[in-house]
Amino acid sequence: MKIKTIQETLKNKSLKKEFAVVTNLSNGDSEIFVPGINLKGVFSEYISKIEEIFNSNRNGIIENSEIFVQTFKNPIKVIIVGAVHISTFLIEFAKNLNFEIIIVDPRSFFATRERFPHTKIINKWPNEAFDEIETNTRTALVTLTHDPKIDDPALKYALKKKFFYIGALGSKKTHEKRCLRLIEAGFTKKEIETINGPIGIKLGGKSPSEIALSIISQLVFEKYKNKI
């Protein structure tokens, strides 16, 4: 691998950029792949296959070639709205699965460093908090407060930005009311159906840790279903 490629790799990782290193195993030649930027020489002949491997967040050798693609993508970002008891367990599960966690809750007496050490906390209302968070279609949202004033703005944002996973805590009756509010806000039935509500896979558990397990299980399932 070229020294220049190594230097660019280290720089891109420090800047949290998403890219791939493309290497010709027959001669050691290498280049950095970034979507939208053309590759040179033999690499340009395999651009569609390189994009396919990169978009599916995989590493591998392109079939019938000596071209190896190593993908570097940032961890999936999980935004948890609501510093409740379930959040404590959910964060532990998520961190062990290499998710990036952010807690959003305007109630600063709930969302504290003491309760959630080593976790990014934004003590603002969701409309303000999302101004500080870079999101994309690899972002997930989990709302846990049961308070429409806090949960609804976050859900609206996630629907508009097409997060790959959106889950909202609450009973079926609570979710029905939530759906009516979103319809009144202008969202379509198809858009609203992308919300997992009541949240989580039905494991039968009732305790905060069991509910957190059902949520993280659903999140992992959606991650692989969407191949992100």
Residues of the chain with pLDDT under 50: none
| Per-residue model confidence (pLDDT) at position 41 | 87
User: What is the domain extent for residue 128?
Assistant: 77-225
What DSSP state is assigned to residue 73? Answer: -
Both 160 and 50 in one domain: the answer is no
CATH at residue 88 = 3.40.50.720
Distance CA 201, CA 204 (A): 9
| Per-residue model confidence (pLDDT) at position 174 | 95
* Tokens standing for residue 97: 């699965």
Q: Which of 26, 52, 72 is the last residue of a domain?
A: 72
Tens of pLDDT, residues 120-140? 999 999 999 999 999 998 999
Compute CA distances 77 → 97, 98, 114, 140, whole Å: 11, 9, 22, 6
Q: Which helix (DSSP H) or strand (DSSP E) does residue 167 occupy?
A: strand 165-168
Identify the burial level of 109 via C-beta atoms within 10 angstroms of its C-beta, where 0-12 means exposed, 13-18 middle and 19 or more buried: exposed
Both 43 and 102 in one domain: the answer is no
| Per-residue model confidence (pLDDT) at position 228 | 74
Tens of pLDDT, residues 54-93? 988 889 999 999 999 999 988 899 999 999 999 999 999 9
Both 10 and 63 in one domain: the answer is yes
Both 89 and 22 in one domain: the answer is no
Both 121 and 212 in one domain: the answer is yes
| Per-residue model confidence (pLDDT) at position 148 | 96
